[in-house]
Structure 1
Amino acid sequence: DSEATSLPSVTAYTSVSSDSHSYTMQEFALRYFRKPLTLSTANPLWPQAPIQESLISLKEDASRQAVAGFRVLMQFMGDQSKSWRKDELDLLYELLKLCQEEELRDEMYCQVIKQVTGHPRPERCARGWSLLSLFTGFFPPSTTLMPYVTKFLQDSSPSQELARSSQEHLQRTVKYGGRQQLPSPAEMQALLKGQAVRLLLIHMPGAMEYRTNIQTFTVVGEVLEELCGQMGITDPQEVQEFALFLIKGEGDLVRPLWPHEYLNSIMVDQDLSLHTRRLGWESPLHFEHPTYVSIHYSQVLRDYLQGKLMASAQADAQLAQLAALQHLSKASPSPPSEQDLLAYIPKPLQWQVDMATIKTLVGQELRQLQEYSPQKAQISFIEATRQLPLFGYTVYVVLRASKLVLPGPVFLGLNRWHLVLMDPSSQKLCCSITLKDLQRLHLLSPLEDGGPPGLELNYGSADSPQTMWLELPQAQELQHTIVFLLDGSMTSTQWPGN
């Protein structure tokens, strides 16, 4: 009997020739089929007759489903006439849904392999191969069948292009788990027409855009690796410090995407967009690539001008240096106007600083730094802002926190290790929580009509449990990002507000 399907390990995929088995599908048929059968045929009376019972020994109900599935398969391949009530799309959905059932998965794999083996009609055989290509991208066979399917694809690759794509899909499924959600009708129609490639637009800091082509089984991690390669990032550890964020509309939903998520299962609505930014800052920064410099500068500059890096209104020299570097990064031949100078100051500080003093100091800085190229100015800006309190954190504005009594909002800084709350006025640390101490997150409804939502944090040890609630507009985004940074170690049952 076929073993229950479970996600195979990578070794299950790569160990085809590790023991005495030859792992041919002929061998599998002799060992596991209900009746010993040969998969190849020289029978001139092709197509074969519909099966009367499942190939693999299954329970009675499952066997009936398998028999019906074989008829659908023959109709899809053109080996049997189809009902006028069903078109190709209906047949394809039926077959994918059957393969979605773990009990039937190995059976459906075997049925398709049986039908494409020795088929005398190339155009019909190609339809069977296209179906197998989809099976391998959506659902892995059992660990019992896996080495046989792998060997079959390897042996078929020299003469069958779809066998090569099926190999790639199966490798990706082993690595990422398979695409669990079936395609939308629109995507399925495109697949039937051979239009599997789709343009994807990613928004980057600094109003930059990155365009790439994705296919049916492209995952987030692959696109991030490609995007980072365009910035000269090759270290896998540094690639992991970037994330793609999914945004719905004007920010109704903001969440980081897991590397194993399939992009075509996510980008299903017109009002969804993808944005990227750096979340982790543990890897040493390197500035040999111009795109790398530009992206990092734009992200840091945005946080700085929004006041999220907590520069001080009393630090005139620092504010002037950072203003001068911003001006030099634009390669402007003219000195900065008063309007320029004001725009170079973080918004919360614009009415607190002495602009006359800033103007004088900026003039001095520009004379000292006049040889700086725009790229060198951007690098120097990043290095200078690294001294500010919340550099390297993703910063949220918390309107109220249950354990703090402060006259105004506080800043919440989040990185891979800590969640901190800081008073933007005094720059004092109010609270620090180690992320691994978080036990549960719970999204709260707004405390007042029209007010922002809240997020309850349960943290600490069993002997000393702690609870804090935060009120902020981006409560759900914060929740998603914390779980993402914890690498999923906090399960969905522990954060039911999601």
Structure 2
Amino acid sequence: MHPRLTVLPLGPQAHIQESLLSISDEDTSRQAVAGFQALMQFMGDQSRPRGKDKLDLLYELLRLCQDESLRDEIYCQVIKQVTGHPRQDHCARGWSFLSLLTGFFPPSTTLMPYLTKFLQDSGPSQELAQSSQEHLQRTVKYGGRQRLPLPGEMQAFLKGQTVHLVLIHLPGGTDYKTNIRTFTVVAEVLEEMCRQMGITEPQEVQEFALFLHKAEGKLVRPLRHSEYLNNVVMEKDVSLHSRRLGWETPLHFNNPTYISTHYSQVRQDYLQGKLRISAQADAQIARLAALQHLSRDKKTPPSEQDLLAYIPKLLQWEISMTTIKDLMGQELRKLQGHSSQDAQISFIEAMSQLPLFGYAIYVVLRVSRLPLTGPTLLGLNHQHLLLMDPSSQKPRCSISLKNLQRLRLLSPQEEGGPPGLEINYGLADSPQTTWFELPQAQELLYTIIFLLNNTCSLEWPGLN
């Protein structure tokens, strides 16, 4: 396709009788002409038909651009319309649409240099040219939003409301507030959050993830770093949660926000019973309780309620609370002079010695290849998937992620029971299959795929 340059000088109110680009398919060419009419109506160069408003026209144009064979044509049409337009208000609407188009759909590699040059040349005189350039650069990097937005977002766009506040829930009950725009991607928010923690190395930023929670946790999945946030946050009944998913980079404790964020995540895993300590390790349990108490910067001795809040519920029935309270008192006397941050660092360092530290941990109820007397722990990191006996703290099974061939969700075997995840792995000449039953089977599936894609920088095809 090549521009018919003789057509471009036509005035902005002149209708076209055929496409600006050479399009051989007659139906596509007719759609191009209809698209130009919709563009003129959106900009106000032609009156809108009864029953159609700006929102309808905007969707009509974006739907046309979902067809790759029409994208360059629509780009050329809007460039034609904003070039030398005599009406500033009409021209502004055209630029508004161009700023939207550049964020949704990339032009062809043939048109790209011409579009880039046009935006650069228009920048000094047109404010929206700068945002169009930024959106285009983001589209080149992340692929464009592609999915059409919900009407509520488009209504806000037409009113010039392109920024809105989102809450990201962090471990420990803290909320992080940030403003996102029409084309903000997950990676940008994670980079911003990490800067608040003093993290600037790209490798370490990659170890954090945003999780989407939908329908009160019925769907939980990590968002790809290239995902556009407005594609998910504008839906109903969704929330965003962040946590560290990879722990390859050595920990560094030179930023208070970094320390408190990591402490909250590690403490949450401990209290939920994911980072297990033997019920016989009274001194260790008491020291961890003392560190938690100091982390709250409390000057008064711990109450009975405080003590319960410092110990995982699974352990509370197996230990002597009186013994732990006495040992905790001794620890608090030893730790006199420790600041809240010192206590948090010491707690993280103590947890880092446990076998499953640095893993995303799930509780598995049943495994096809192993006889289990009770629930077991499944740890997942960038390298492998590990099953561990929670009592003995000994590994029972390890599967390398690079050997995974296929993943498949399984329906519950019993009514009201947990779903399952089937994993095919191993070499082609000796494949193996196993399955796990756990309530978070879907989350585990998505997290494995997220880690594979992050590690390999490829879209892993094993989701069925």
TM-score of the two chains, using structure 1 as the length reference: 0.90
Aligned 1:43-62 pairs, distance under 5 A: 46-59=11-24, 60-62=26-28
Match of 1:117 among 77, 83, 86: 83
Matched, 1:68 2:18: no
Instruction: Pick which of 304-313 and 162-171 moved more.
Output: 304-313
Q: 1:359 — aligned with what?
A: 325
Residue aligned with 1:65, SS: helix
Aligned 1:57-456 pairs, distance under 5 A: 57-59=22-24, 60-456=26-422
Counterpart contact for 1:314–1:353, Cα < 8 Å: yes
Residue aligned with 2:453, SS: coil
Residue aligned with 2:354, SS: coil
2:377 counterpart letter in structure 1? F
In 2, Cα distance between equivalents of 1:485 and 1:91: 40
1:153–1:47 distance in 2 versus 1, CA, 3 Å: closer
Deviation at 1:492, TM superposition (A): 6.9
Counterpart contact for 1:255–1:481, Cα < 8 Å: yes
1:298–1:234 distance in 2 versus 1, CA, 3 Å: same
1:33 counterpart letter in structure 2? P
Q: 1:494 — aligned with what?
A: 462
Q: What do the CA deviations read for 1:412-446 (whole angstroms, capped 9, x no partner)?
A: 01111111111111212110111111111110000
Q: What do the CA deviations read for 1:373-413 (whole angstroms, capped 9, x no partner)?
A: 11110011001111111111111110111111121010001
Deviation at 1:137, TM superposition (A): 0.4
Counterpart contact for 1:325–1:377, Cα < 8 Å: yes
In 2, Cα distance between equivalents of 1:473 and 1:193: 43
In 2, Cα distance between equivalents of 1:68 and 1:360: 81
Q: How many residues matched?
A: 461
Q: What do the CA deviations read for 1:258-279 (whole angstroms, capped 9, x no partner)?
A: 0111111112323100000000
1:287 counterpart letter in structure 2? F
1:495 counterpart letter in structure 2? L
Deviation at 1:287, TM superposition (A): 1.5
Residue aligned with 1:494, SS: coil
Instruction: Pick which of 161-170 and 204-213 moved more.
Output: 204-213
Deviation at 1:69, TM superposition (A): 1.2
In 1, Cα distance between equivalents of 2:119 and 2:405: 46
Q: 1:37 — aligned with what?
A: 6
Residue aligned with 2:329, SS: helix
In 1, Cα distance between equivalents of 2:149 and 2:114: 27
Residue aligned with 1:450, SS: coil
Residue aligned with 2:358, SS: coil
Deviation at 1:86, TM superposition (A): 1.2
Deviation at 1:92, TM superposition (A): 1.0
Counterpart contact for 2:406–2:424, Cα < 8 Å: yes
In 1, Cα distance between equivalents of 2:459 and 2:239: 26
Deviation at 1:38, TM superposition (A): 6.5
In 2, Cα distance between equivalents of 1:257 and 1:177: 15
Counterpart contact for 2:13–2:46, Cα < 8 Å: no
Residue aligned with 1:67, SS: helix
In 2, Cα distance between equivalents of 1:491 and 1:236: 20
In 2, Cα distance between equivalents of 1:317 and 1:236: 39
Deviation at 1:348, TM superposition (A): 1.5
In 2, Cα distance between equivalents of 1:343 and 1:55: 70
Deviation at 1:354, TM superposition (A): 2.7
Deviation at 1:171, TM superposition (A): 0.2
Deviation at 1:355, TM superposition (A): 2.7
In 1, Cα distance between equivalents of 2:308 and 2:160: 55
Structure 2 residues without counterparts, runs of 5 or longer: none
TM-score of the two chains, using structure 2 as the length reference: 0.96
In 2, Cα distance between equivalents of 1:67 and 1:359: 80
Deviation at 1:493, TM superposition (A): 5.2
In 2, Cα distance between equivalents of 1:425 and 1:116: 70
Structural RMSD (CA) = 1.5
Q: What do the CA deviations read for 1:357-388 (whole angstroms, capped 9, x no partner)?
A: 32232222111111001111001100111111
In 2, Cα distance between equivalents of 1:33 and 1:221: 36
In 1, Cα distance between equivalents of 2:137 and 2:422: 40
Structure 1 residues without counterparts, runs of 5 or longer: 2-31
Counterpart contact for 2:40–2:46, Cα < 8 Å: yes
Residue aligned with 1:487, SS: helix
